[in-house]
Amino acid sequence: MLRLIRTEQQYENTLARIYELMQIDLQPDSEESDELEILSMLVKKYEDEHYPVPEPSPIEAIKHRMEQLNISDAELSEILGARSRKSEILSGKRKLSLSMIRALKERLNISADILIQLY
């Protein structure tokens, strides 16, 4: 019987069951594949409540995305509007403007919610 995960022991047991299910060659729309999907949702809910992951700072997000997309410093300068702005932004000496946030959201696909945070 599927239930909400309320304790660490239930969490551990659910993870063990998920592992068991992942070792099977599951067929789509089978009881086991439905069980795996539901258990995964329950684990995500528990983890979101008990192990929240903080959002990265805007600077961390920009650096991470640059690395992921293999964006050069020159390309970031182009996105931000000037070379000096790039170094000032990444060093924390200058805050992002609304036009910079829009450009970063569009070009690097970084959530505006992350970019508008205080840092």
Which of the pair, 84 or 6, is modelled with greater confidence?
6
Q: 2: which residues sit within 8 A by CB, 6+ positions away?
A: 35, 38, 39, 42
Q: What are all long-range contacts of 10-13, with beta carbons under 8 Å and residues at least 24 apart?
A: 11/43, 11/46, 11/50
**Is residue 86 scored above 90 in pLDDT?**
no
The structure tokens 């999907």 sit at 37
Inform me whether the pLDDT recorded for 87 exceeds 90: no
Stronger pLDDT, 111 or 85, i.e. the higher one = 111
Does residue 14 have a pLDDT over 80? yes
Q: Residue 83 pLDDT > 90, yes or no?
A: no
Average pLDDT over residues 95-113: 94
